Amino acid sequence: MAIPTFHWEKSFDGQEYVISNNLEMISYEFIQSSLARKEVYWTGPTISPLETIKTMVVNSCTLGLYKTGDPTSPSKDKARQIGFARIITDYVTIAYLTDVFILPECQGTGLGKWLIARTREIIDSMPELRRSVLLTDQNGKGVKFYERELGMKVFNTGDNGGKVVMMRVNTSS
Ligand SMILES: CC(C)(COP(=O)(O)OP(=O)(O)OC[C@H]1O[C@@H](n2cnc3c(N)ncnc32)[C@H](O)[C@@H]1OP(=O)(O)O)[C@@H](O)C(=O)NCCC(=O)NCCS
């Protein structure tokens, strides 16, 4: 089975946004620098080599979030990457959501909910999905956010270094 192509567009406040898994649009440098930011508390401050970032991105369903028609964009199609989310998956039975990030200056306007709604659409389209999983900060805003937007439930609050495992089970398997 070929890897499916995902592409959504949305117009908001006179600005166009795109969510896509097109690898030709991805800025590996953007992902590299984002994962080293303090807001991305689950990775630590280390800057991973670009080759490592490429391997990570190519081997998962990486959704880039882009602002289009931005004249400050360095890319030729004028799409500027402002966020991303990754689903580690076989596209059939299992989906692990990780690395959800939007630039602070672009947060708080509904783009995060849009990004998560689209990841939900991808997860829900898997033909024999057994479960979807994620980890988030036990005391952060993520628990309520993922309960509401993804239908996740807290699975385990054991000793996970302040992280909580959340899961949505689709079958008894
Ligand atoms: C999580 C994140 C992508 C949400 O993006 P956003 O554009 O602010 O999201 P929206 O405007 O669509 O929705 C805001 C909702 O996100 C929720 N949220 C979840 N995690 C959040 C976080 N770490 N920081 C801020 N808001 C967060 C808020 O509770 C808010 O819910 P509300 O509308 O009921 O108040 C963004 O805050 C982010 O990149 N945070 C830093 C990285 C991070 O914490 N990622 C998630 C790990 S669980």
Is residue 172 pLDDT above 60, yes or no?
Answer: no
> Using 50, 70 and 90 to split pLDDT, how confident is the model at 161?
confident
Domain borders along the chain are: 7-128, 130-173
Pick left, alpha or beta for residue 61 (phi over 0 → left; psi -120 to 50 → alpha; otherwise beta).
Answer: beta
Q: Please name the residue ranges forming H helices in 71-135.
A: 111-124
**Ligand 1 centroid from CA 110, angstroms:** 9
pLDDT value at 82 more than 80? yes
Report d(CA 41, CA 172) in Å as an integer. 33
Instruction: Judge if the beta carbon of residue 55 lies within 6 A of ligand 1.
Output: no
**What is the tens place of the pLDDT at every residue in 94-142?**
999 999 999 999 999 999 999 999 999 999 999 999 999 999 998 889 9
Give the DSSP H/E element, type plus range, for residue 56: helix 50-58
Single-letter amino acid, residue 16:
E
Segment (H or E) for 90: none
Q: Pairing relation of β-strands 163-169 and 94-102?
A: unpaired
- pLDDT for the residue numbered 168: 95
Q: Is pLDDT of 32 > 60?
A: yes
Q: Is the CB of 42 under 6 A from ligand 1?
A: no
- Tokens representing 163 are 């992280």
Three-class SS state of 75: coil
Distance 146 CA to ligand 1 centre (A): 10
- Residues 148-168 have a mean pLDDT of 87
Q: Provide the token pair at 96.
A: 């692990």
Atom number, ligand 1, closest to the C-alpha of residue 42: 47
* Average pLDDT of the residues in 34-52: 91
Residue 173 has pLDDT above 60, yes or no: no
Superfamily classification of domain 7-128: Gcn5-related N-acetyltransferase (GNAT) (3.40.630.30)
In the three-class reduction of DSSP (H, G, I as helix; E, B as strand; rest coil), residue 153 is classed as strand
